[in-house]
A and B are shown apart, each in its own frame.
Chain A
Amino acid sequence: MTLQQLFLGLSTLLASNIIFSATPSVDEIVNRTNYTSYYQGQDGKAKVKMTITDAQNRTRKREFVILRRDVPTTDAIENNAYEGDQKMYVYFSRPADVNKMVFMVLKKTKADDDRWLYLPALDLVKRIAASDKRTSFVGSDFLYEDVSGRNLAADTHALIGTDDNYYIIENTPVNPDEVEFSKYIMYIHKTTFLPVSTEYYDKQGKKYKTYTALAVDTIEGHPTITKSEAKNLNTGGSTLMEYSSVQYDVGIPDDIFSERNLRKPPRKLLR
């Protein structure tokens, strides 16, 4: 799917949505984007098929289910009310040898996240030090921070352009020493506020990574990326994430997200 096709899809899909007459503020754009990317609904669930392809076109597949629950009880963008702590439970079903492996995050906006890893074959629950979130997510081209979301306050944001379809936002890290990029540029769809494309630049100013939304669907009224690709221009590898069975407001109980439940996955919720 090309970007044009995607845009056409987006437009028809969301024709009924409010069209902003004036350009919103940078703050509003990034908050809306943050919201649509990570906070829609009180909770959410999705099955994900991940295909990792390397420069030699060799592929590896992973399948997992993501359960998410937000601590704030509102979805309001005003005053960033939607933004707050979040809980995530990632349950791996395939490949067969990592079946039942769980990765859990208690994401905190004001402090370091808590992260756990459960390795069933070693019967081991392990806390992972939160020092660095910019590491690969299970060997893919997505990073942990891509899955859990990057704190808005970690970057400064500037609207560097708009066109018919997109707001173009440049994000610069507040602490450049903590990250490997110098900036990233997001192409945010004007009506849905989905980041359709994101480009990362290294410290030498060279583009080295891109994220592209390849399919979008409206699910329960929420515009949702259902196919997303990360490309690593340095390695020549890429990773495709395909979402299915996406549901919002499932009613995921809070006690799922506990260390104890890593060993006892909530089978019904993961079905």
Chain B
Amino acid sequence: MTHQNYDTRSVNPIVLFSINHPKLITWLMMIFTVVIISLAALPNFFPKELPFLHSIKVDTDPENMLADDEHARVYNQAMKKEFSLSDIVVVGITNEHNAQGVFNTKTLTNIDKLTKFALSLTWPDADQPEKTAGVIGIDLLSPSTVDNIEQGGPGTVNFSWLMPSPPASDAEALLIRDRAKKIPFLDGTLISDDGQALALYIPLTDKHLSYQLREELLTKIAEFGDIEESYYITGLPVAEDTFGVEMFKQMAISAPLAMLVIFLLLWWFFKRLIFVTSPMIVAMVCALSTMGLLIITGNTIHIMSSMIPIFIMPIAILDAVHILSDFFDRYNSIRDKRQTIIHVMSELFTPMLITSLTTIAGFASLALTPIPPVQVFGIFIAIGVFLAWIWSITFIPAFIVSIPDEKLASFITSIDSKDKNNKTLMARLLIKVGQFTYHHALLIVLITVSLSGVAAYGISQINVNDNPIKWFAESHPIRVADRVLNEHFGGTYMAYLALEVDQNAAVDTDFKPALLARLAIAAKQAKADDYANSEVIFSQLQHTIQNHQGDKASLGNALNAIINTGFDNAADDEFDTWDQAQLFIDSEGQRSQIFKQPKTLTYLEGLQNYINSLGVVGKSNSLSDVVKTVHRELLLGKAEEFRIPDSSNAVAQTLITYQNSHRPHDLWHFVTPDYRKTSLWVQLKSGDNEDMDYVEKEVAKYIASHPMPHNLQANWFGLTHINVVWQEKMVTGMFESFTGSFLVVLLMMILLFRSFSWGLLSMIPLTVTVGLIYGIIGLIGKDYDMPVAVLSSLSIGLAVDYAIHFLSRAREYAERYGSWEAAVEPLFSEPAMAISRNAIVVGVGFLPLLAAPLVPYQTVGVFIAAILFLAGVSSLIILPALITLMPKLFFKKIIRPMQ
């Protein structure tokens, strides 16, 4: 009992309370967990009874990487609305068994059937029953729904459906192909570049209907029976919806599988099931209650937040394994479970508190990034780590003291016999490692320095890039469809460049000379056309313009007033002259319709040609294509007439002709009805952010060297652009958050060790680990994407942990054994063992993630293992080597009394 009195003073009261009331602690933990899980789970089953609680919300929309009110997103929404652009499901159709590809009667008949079926897929809107949701038929692109414009005999132009009904013969099918190839808007979009495949573009009122649409289409395709052609359904909405499904599979299978592997490894290390269950319980409790809290607080399950359990589990197990490992070794000598646990906890309490705080700091720093899902991810992992700490220092000791003495006794004998005869392979290896670090310290440091050099080179090679499609494994149907479609077509990744007048640009104030010159021409024409009294009437306008003081708008009003008076008092034969005067004023008003002007369209054409010349761009579409195509067909289909006409009136008349079609609204996808804004569509062959980034930079260069007319400004929109925006934010945000948490952790270390040099030393394994990890990423050419970016936070959490445990023991042992040399061997028995067990258990435990169907989880699995391995190795090898080289720096106090 005397021992106990001595020990209890050194241990934290919370720990002591837990040891004294093990049952209470167990109950507390159970109730806490059950309450949280119930609050999170019940509203999903009883949403009506519990309206005040949040149900599970899944969010797979990459757009949500940016906050709702983020400029890029708001602008994207506004532009999508202005140009009536919807989210699109793409159905690609190929036929490898026919020399004409899909252009045969059978395949085209099926495509026609599928189109008609797709057109029928509308449902009452869930939120507004009077509206319909589903396929937007008017914007669906299919051979059956698009218009053809071509020569229809001498001097005749023919507007008709491209495929009014399925062709009766294969020769007719080829005609459909040839017609579609001639229309730039369709070539490379509807029909493949090689003329073998077709793609249907099915717009939806809401992208969340895409999974439903895909299922319906697949059922319909199955009805076709034995078919030659293949159907590939993709497009970003489908990918997102499918991702949501896979994410749940992942959470339901891979994460528990990781738990199982960790469990088996722990069992192998500690040999006793009863020991192993407690860390598993803590890990489970922490992962479940953190996810519960996430749902209760109304946050969504997102690609980032779905990874929270995977990050929390290793951290939760880490602390528990330290306690168990220490207990396991101490119990041999103390032989009293209560005394042992008090001893272990008094030794481990501070390092555990500090390691938890550093981990929390590492993840909480993510809250400073500008990406909402990453903020949520960081904050909730920090909460999970806190829970892990609380339950590790209370439940684990409580659990251990509850184990009956007989069980522990039988356990000791087995350990003893083993210990006496021969130490385990790992134990012997660790002792050797300890000796090696002492005798070859310089070599180790030199190797570390040269590896750091290599890592630095690797980091300089890092390629920042993300691509939501690549979140799927290569063999996934979504990836396959993506590959096939982008091989055949101009690209399925849409980006849009909006050109509009800069509202802030300076207005041309001296407009009168040009206006008067144009008036003179109109007056001359009116005279030539024999309009009565035209000289007098037009000179009235001229005087008004010359004498007017004020801006353009007030001049317009003044002129209209004169013309109205003129109409009222006009003699019968002057009526037409006044009409000519008004026509002049009206056409002056139309000069604001800049996208009818040949100069503007020619600029647009040049810009588009430049964009098309960029390797990553498959195709682009713009207003100038529409104008050129219709102009060519109006002028006998001659290739040389594929051009912008010479006057804005000619453009206007070309466009009004284009609108004499089945789909007049198609024009408004390219230009607004006031002709002040245009959207240029760019189709990219891949969704790689680096490709889009490249296009944006090249276009900016082009615009800088080719100034735009009319003070135009260009802005990108579309999901492909949004991805680039959040990626930029991620890179800079992550760098800042990592730097911030690095400094915070360094400060904490200096305070903990009350020494600048020890503080700095403890940061070395972390620095080496992060450096090597990112160096390797750069060297092997793995893209720096979102999962890779957040791994830096995990490194802070784990690598510093090992350093704290190792160094605090190193200091303690050096004091206890009188010198650093004497401390090396004991340091490399029990503490090194705990670190190694930790690294192996958690590292290997996460390798099952490699089996996950989603690439981000695979990445995380591999890199968690690598971080743990590197952090363990660098703590156990570099730290002792550095201490050996510079003992005076670290052991001033110890060495002095020895002298």
Give me the interface of A with B, judged by CB distance under 8 Å. Answer: 54-56, 58-60, 93-99, 101, 117, 119-122, 124, 126-129, 131-132, 134-140, 144, 177, 180, 203-204, 206, 234-235, 237, 267, 271
Chain B residues contacting A139 (CB-CB under 8 Å) are 656, 659-660, 664, 667
CA of A126 to CA of B157 in the docked complex: distance in angstroms? 7
Chain A residues contacting B349 (CB-CB under 8 Å) are none
A-B contact pairs, 23 of them (CB 8 A): A54-B673, A56-B81, A58-B672, A93-B579, A93-B583, A96-B590, A97-B649, A98-B656, A99-B583, A101-B653, A119-B653, A121-B650, A121-B653, A122-B645, A126-B157, A129-B160, A132-B164, A134-B662, A138-B659, A139-B656, A139-B659, A139-B664, A235-B665
Chain B residues contacting A60 (CB-CB under 8 Å) are 673
Selected contact of A136 from candidates B645, B653, B654, B661, CB within 8 Å: B661
CA of A220 to CA of B862 in the docked complex: distance in angstroms? 88
Selected contact of B653 from candidates A55, A98, A132, A234, CB within 8 Å: A98
Chain B residues contacting A137 (CB-CB under 8 Å) are 660
- The reply on B153 being an interface residue by CB < 8 A is yes
Contact A95 B159, beta carbon cutoff 8 Å: no
Contact B656 A138, beta carbon cutoff 8 Å: yes
Selected contact of A271 from candidates B152, B575, B634, B665, CB within 8 Å: B575
Known: A95-B590, A119-B653, A126-B157. A135 touches B660 (CB 8 A): yes
CA of A126 to CA of B119 in the docked complex: distance in angstroms? 34
CA of A128 to CA of B656 in the docked complex: distance in angstroms? 14
CA of A124 to CA of B661 in the docked complex: distance in angstroms? 19
CA of A93 to CA of B575 in the docked complex: distance in angstroms? 14
> Closest residue of chain B to A132, judged by CB?
B160
Chain A residues contacting B81 (CB-CB under 8 Å) are 56
CA of A55 to CA of B136 in the docked complex: distance in angstroms? 14
- The reply on B813 being an interface residue by CB < 8 A is no
Taken residue by residue from 620 to 650, chain B's Cβ proximity to chain A (1 for < 8 Å, 0 otherwise) reads as 0000000000010011000000000101111
- The reply on B169 being an interface residue by CB < 8 A is no
Return A43 CB to nearest CB of chain B, in Å.
Answer: 22
Known: A98-B652, A132-B161. A119 touches B657 (CB 8 A): yes
Chain B residues contacting A140 (CB-CB under 8 Å) are 664
Contact B634 A122, beta carbon cutoff 8 Å: yes
CA of A101 to CA of B583 in the docked complex: distance in angstroms? 14
Contact B586 A117, beta carbon cutoff 8 Å: no
> Closest residue of chain A to B159, judged by CB?
A135
CA of A183 to CA of B171 in the docked complex: distance in angstroms? 33
Chain A residues contacting B672 (CB-CB under 8 Å) are 58
Nearest 10 interchain pairs by C-beta: A139-B659, A129-B152, A121-B649, A97-B652, A96-B587, A96-B586, A129-B158, A121-B650, A136-B664, A127-B156
Return A52 CB to nearest CB of chain B, in Å.
Answer: 8
CA of A139 to CA of B119 in the docked complex: distance in angstroms? 22
> Closest residue of chain B to A136, judged by CB?
B664
> Closest residue of chain A to B82, judged by CB?
A56
CA of A113 to CA of B653 in the docked complex: distance in angstroms? 23
Chain A residues contacting B659 (CB-CB under 8 Å) are 136, 138-139
Selected contact of A117 from candidates B84, B583, B657, B674, CB within 8 Å: B657
Selected contact of B674 from candidates A58, A121, A122, CB within 8 Å: A58
Contact B596 A97, beta carbon cutoff 8 Å: yes
CA of A200 to CA of B665 in the docked complex: distance in angstroms? 19
Known: A101-B656, A271-B576. A132 touches B138 (CB 8 A): no
Chain B residues contacting A237 (CB-CB under 8 Å) are 665
Selected contact of A97 from candidates B120, B152, B590, CB within 8 Å: B590
Give me the interface of B with A, judged by CB distance under 8 Å. Answer: 81-82, 84, 116, 119-120, 122, 137-138, 152-153, 155-161, 164-165, 575-576, 579, 583-584, 586-587, 589-590, 593, 596, 631, 634-635, 645, 647-654, 656-657, 659-662, 664-665, 667-668, 672-674
Contact B660 A136, beta carbon cutoff 8 Å: yes
Chain A residues contacting B138 (CB-CB under 8 Å) are 234-235
> Closest residue of chain A to B138, judged by CB?
A234
Contact A97 B587, beta carbon cutoff 8 Å: yes
Contact B596 A131, beta carbon cutoff 8 Å: no
Selected contact of B647 from candidates A58, A121, A136, CB within 8 Å: A121
Contact A124 B156, beta carbon cutoff 8 Å: no
Return A236 CB to nearest CB of chain B, in Å.
Answer: 10
Contact A128 B159, beta carbon cutoff 8 Å: yes
> Closest residue of chain B to A267, judged by CB?
B576
Known: A54-B668, A121-B650. A136 touches B662 (CB 8 A): yes
Return A269 CB to nearest CB of chain B, in Å.
Answer: 12
Contact B590 A132, beta carbon cutoff 8 Å: no
CA of A126 to CA of B593 in the docked complex: distance in angstroms? 26
Contact A138 B673, beta carbon cutoff 8 Å: no
Return A39 CB to nearest CB of chain B, in Å.
Answer: 25
CA of A118 to CA of B657 in the docked complex: distance in angstroms? 10
Which of A94, A97, A177 has the largest number of chain B CB atoms within 10 A?
Answer: A97
CA of A139 to CA of B665 in the docked complex: distance in angstroms? 8
Return A203 CB to nearest CB of chain B, in Å.
Answer: 7
CA of A203 to CA of B112 in the docked complex: distance in angstroms? 14
Chain B residues contacting A119 (CB-CB under 8 Å) are 634, 650, 653-654, 657
Contact B660 A98, beta carbon cutoff 8 Å: no
Return B421 CB to nearest CB of chain A, in Å.
Answer: 83
Return B282 CB to nearest CB of chain A, in Å.
Answer: 57
Return A130 CB to nearest CB of chain B, in Å.
Answer: 9
Chain B residues contacting A234 (CB-CB under 8 Å) are 137-138
Contact A95 B586, beta carbon cutoff 8 Å: yes
Chain B residues contacting A93 (CB-CB under 8 Å) are 579, 583
> Closest residue of chain B to A180, judged by CB?
B662
CA of A117 to CA of B593 in the docked complex: distance in angstroms? 24
Return B591 CB to nearest CB of chain A, in Å.
Answer: 10
CA of A138 to CA of B668 in the docked complex: distance in angstroms? 14
CA of A121 to CA of B657 in the docked complex: distance in angstroms? 12
Chain B residues contacting A129 (CB-CB under 8 Å) are 152-153, 156-160
| Other 14 A-B pairs with CB < 8 A, given A54-B665, A131-B158, A203-B116 | A58-B674, A97-B649, A97-B652, A99-B587, A101-B653, A126-B156, A128-B156, A129-B152, A132-B161, A135-B661, A136-B661, A136-B664, A139-B660, A204-B119
Return A250 CB to nearest CB of chain B, in Å.
Answer: 16
Chain B residues contacting A55 (CB-CB under 8 Å) are 84
Contact B165 A177, beta carbon cutoff 8 Å: yes
CA of A97 to CA of B586 in the docked complex: distance in angstroms? 9
Chain A residues contacting B654 (CB-CB under 8 Å) are 119, 122
> Closest residue of chain B to A140, judged by CB?
B664
> Closest residue of chain A to B659, judged by CB?
A139
Contact B635 A124, beta carbon cutoff 8 Å: yes
Known: A56-B81, A60-B673, A97-B590. A124 touches B634 (CB 8 A): yes
Contact A98 B157, beta carbon cutoff 8 Å: no
Contact A127 B661, beta carbon cutoff 8 Å: no
Chain A residues contacting B156 (CB-CB under 8 Å) are 126-129
CA of A267 to CA of B158 in the docked complex: distance in angstroms? 30
CA of A235 to CA of B714 in the docked complex: distance in angstroms? 28
CA of A121 to CA of B649 in the docked complex: distance in angstroms? 6
CA of A101 to CA of B576 in the docked complex: distance in angstroms? 16
Chain A residues contacting B653 (CB-CB under 8 Å) are 97-98, 101, 119-122
